[in-house]
Amino acid sequence: MTGAIDDRYIYAYYLPWRIDLIKTEAKRNRRFENILLIIFSFILAAGMRSSRARDDGSGSEDSYRTSRNQREISLNSVRDAPFLSGGPAFDSGFIPFDLNSSKYIIHNLGGDVAGYFVVMDFFASGQGELNQKSYGGHDLGIKTYGSAFEGYELGAYWHTLNTSTITVYRRTNDHSAANIRIRIWVDPNPAWDSGWVSLTAGAAATTLNHNLGGTLDEYVVDMQQKSLSHGINHAYYGGMDFGENAWGGTRVDEMVGSYWRNLNTTSIKVYRRADDTFAEQVRVRIWKRPKAAYDSGWVSASLGALTGFNHYIGGNPRDYAVDLQFRNPTDGVNQKFYGGMDKGKEAGEIGLNEDDRIGACWSHLSERSINVFRREEDTFAPEVRVRIWNFWKPPSPNYDSYWVALEPGNTAVLNHNLQMGHDVMFVDMQQLASNGVINHISYGGMDLGPPKNPDNRVGAYWFNLTGDNISVFRRDEDDQAALVRVRMWVMPRADYDSNWVNLTAGGVATVLNHNLGVDVADYLVDMEQSCVMDGVNQIFYGGKDMGAKASGTLSENDRVGAQWRNLTDTSITVYRRSEDDFAQSVRIRIWRMAKPDFDSGFAAVAAGASWEVPHNLMGNPHRYFMNYQYSDDSLLGINNCFYGGNFFGTKPPTGFSLDDIGGSGWSSLIQTIVIIHRNSQDSVADNHRVRIWRTPPGVTVEQIIDYILGRTIPDARMKDEADINGDNFLNIMDVISLLNQ
């Protein structure tokens, strides 16, 4: 390449942060602010008290509007997504519950409740940790803990699901549901939906024909109940016999609830128990989803014993969704007495005796394992199958270099000291131009073309990732990476990992079959390169052409780096460019992500144009985790070809000419916007998508209050951590912003 760059090369530009509010805040009377903070602290300490409620859900209840991860979304605005796609549309977080108390939780999802899929989990320290013990309710017989505990009422259930709220009740003597979490996915498109089916209590099981075919291993079943008294509910889901204290002793030994059994490729059976008043109607939905992050297959479970499953998914188990199914010769695949039950005196299921302990449940879910307990006299779960889906939401990074100043032509060795294999790490590097703009312009490095600054070497890249450190290089004439920042996450196990795949420079593109299914829109794709000289790296990421100042073994017009393209729900294609030295092998990892705090969706941008994307998150951009994708309307599909920009030399690919600039990048990431720049002759990035997740700060509310009151003086980095809303001031608005995340 010869000559210099012209206005086709799109520079990042500076948009100052202008927040009028901070001018007012700066003038506030310090004493008045202190008084407000003290009052605010008392409010935080007071928390929320829960009132008493009867097991029938009557009596007074608490309204509980969650602030953490709260999303008020109209169902009509939610993308029609496959089962558990993208994480929940609503997440209450774990809410503390008193014994014998109800809370109605405000989700405000709106739309059609028929599209809701509800997951309820429990957490109790020392009592199953993260678990679903006694799910739906469980009354003890004499065998479980002896006569002193006979009739104790365990577990919790949800009921009265509507378009704005859901009510949750924790029972009188429970010990495993001290904290309860409700998540709701929006999925109006199951593979099959029975609609609401009326059942007669105690009548023969009803067969529902779905005729889905395929294999049972693909099926995920959800059954909801409905009654006049409890609305849509999971009260006594799976079936329960009331104990001696039930409903003031008026319903002793009554057999309530409902369950499903005998799932096969054409039908499923549902049964409403003889004395039930909670499942006047049931609705069964089935999804066909072949790929979970973990699938145990069918495993024998011993009576009265825990069966441990080592899934090694990693990450945060609170991001997981668990499905537990049972199997026996008579009932086939089933969820009879899910969560566990003690049999009462009334005759019911064949072969059971009074006080028999039946069913199974899961508990002790961690980042490595999960336990399933099959009860002592159970006949319904001689085999169990555990599947776990994981949707990663970026937490605080495990390592953050913060902003490191680099002179052009220099390398910084950053010691992250994570002492982990690089195969579990995810690296995110951002650049900060001298005018204060966070960007990915010329990411991975780029050599400029004519007519200005001929062959200047710009951008930055990382290389030599090890278990202790990572190196970053700023190229010799760069103007976009005056400072660089490297954040690293120790990741959960990828949903797909190609491992290292050797590639021949200029060879045939390699198709990697991941077969994840679900929705490509949920994927996070990471491509790393590896070579002998530079180790694990992202040098010339997306593919770049060398200019006249190429050094070492490289020559002018060499085509280097690697790229991925044609991402679908079954495969992805990788290609190593013809003269490359840096991607002797590549590794593709794919994670399915939780819903971002902002998702632009794909939008068309003309070549040579910019798109100012208004995310309006009003947070500190230094804590945004941003993912940028683009797609080609013709041959390449979703791809990263020429990411950050590339000037083509004398050997351009089809569709480009000498000195054309292709690819796309982003800049000006601030509190409210980010700007996409598509280069002037680009033909690989017709449509563009931005996703942003807010990562938690490394400070607490109490620390921020201490900083504001002057009790502690933060250094520059901690001040930035505490600046939750990104306005460059510390005040009560940062406390409020943190509580609202």
- Structure letter (DSSP) for residue 85: T
Question: 608: which residues sit within 8 A by CB, 6+ positions away?
Answer: 8, 678, 679, 680, 681, 682
pLDDT at 39: 55
Judge whether residue 514 has pLDDT over 90: yes
Distance (Å, whole) CA 223 – CA 205: 15
**Mean of the pLDDT values across residues 137-161?**
93
Q: Are 512 and 505 in contact (CB under 8 A)?
A: no
Instruction: Kindly report, residue by residue over 290-319, the tens digit of the pLDDT.
Output: 688 999 999 999 999 999 999 999 999 999
Task: Check residues 50 and 71 and name the one with the higher pLDDT.
Answer: 50
Residue percentage of the chain with pLDDT more than 70: 89
CA distance 140 to 499: 50
Cβ–Cβ < 8 Å for 238, 331: no
Q: What is the dihedral of CA 274, 279, 285, 289, to 10 degrees?
A: -70
Residue 111, classified by CB atoms within 10 Å of its CB into exposed (0-12), middle (13-18) or buried (19+), is middle
29 has pLDDT over 80: no
Question: What is the CA 511 to chain-centroid distance, rounded?
Answer: 27
DSSP conformation letters of 42-82? HHHHH-----B--TTS-S--EEEE--TT-----GGGS----
Range 405-414 average pLDDT: 98
Beta carbons of 461 and 541 less than 8 angstroms apart = yes
Please report, for residues 78, 84, 117, 229, 651, the alpha-carbon distance to residue 109 in angstroms, rounded to integers and kept in the order given: 9, 16, 12, 23, 53
What's the rounded Cα separation, in Å, for the pair 61 and 585? Answer: 59
In the structure, how many helices (H) and strands (E) does the chain have? 6, 61
680-695: per-residue pLDDT in tens? 999 999 999 999 999 9
* Rounded average pLDDT over 573-601: 96
Q: Select from 355, 345, 164, 198 the least CA-distant residue to 282.
A: 198
- CA 481 vs. chain centroid, Å, equals 30
Tally the C-alpha atoms within 13 A of residue 459's C-alpha that lie toward its C-beta: 26
Write down the pLDDT at residue 20: 35
Greater model confidence, 578 or 41 = 578
Angstrom distance (rounded) from CA 354 to CA 366: 35
Parallel/antiparallel/unpaired status of strands 258-261 and 267-272: antiparallel
Between CA 188 and CA 114 the distance in angstroms is 7
Q: Which of 274, 196, 264 is nearest to 232 (CA)?
A: 196
Structural element, H or E, at residue 145: helix 142-145
Q: What is the DSSP letter of 453?
A: S
pLDDT digits (tens, 9 = 90+) for 326-342: 999 999 999 999 999 99
The closest of 473, 570, 450, 568 to 516, measured between CA atoms, is: 570
In our burial notation (b when 16+ CB lie closer than 10 A, e otherwise), range 402-417 reads: ebeebebeeebebebe
Q: How confident is the model at residue 370 (pLDDT cuts 50, 70, 90)?
A: very high
384 Rama sector, left if φ>0, alpha if ψ -120 to 50, beta otherwise: beta
Using one digit for the tens of pLDDT, what is the confidence trace for 598-642? 999 999 999 999 999 999 999 999 999 999 999 999 999 999 999
- SS3 call for 701: helix
pLDDT at 78: 35
Interatomic CA distance for residues 701 and 717, integer angstroms? 16
pLDDT of the residue at 36: 57
CB neighbour list of residue 45: distance below 8 Å, 6 or more residues apart: none
Q: What is the pLDDT of residue 291?
A: 82
Sequence-distant (≥ 6) Cβ neighbours of residue 204 within 8 angstroms? none
Judge contact between 198 and 299, C-beta under 8 A. Answer: no
**E strand or H helix at 707, and its extent?**
helix 701-709
Q: Residue 83: what pLDDT? A: 63
Angstrom distance (rounded) from CA 169 to CA 74: 26
Q: What is the pLDDT of residues 108-134, one digit of tens each?
A: 999 999 999 999 999 999 988 999 999
Cα–Cα distance for residue pair 107/116, rounded to 1 Å: 11
pLDDT of residue 128: 84
What is the DSSP track for 192-233?
Answer: EE---EE--TTSPPEEEE----S-GGGEEEEEEEEETTTEEE
pLDDT at 82 over 60: no
State whether residue 251 is helix, strand or coil: coil
Confidence at residue 67, expressed as pLDDT on a 0 to 100 scale: 39
pLDDT in tens, 202-255: 999 999 999 999 999 889 999 999 999 999 999 999 999 999 888 888 899 999
> What pLDDT shows up at residue 57?
46
pLDDT above 80 (res 45): no
Higher pLDDT, 134 or 40: 134
> Which value, in Å, is the radius of gyration of the alpha carbons in the chain?
29
Tokens standing for 66?
Answer: 């969650």
What pLDDT is stored for residue 96 in this prediction? Answer: 97
Q: What's the confidence (pLDDT) of residue 288?
A: 86
Residue 523, token pair as written in the block? 């994927």
pLDDT at 33 over 70: no
Angle at CA of residue 658, ends 654 and 664, nearest 5°: 70
Query: Phi and psi at residue 216, in whole multiples of 5°?
Result: -60, -25
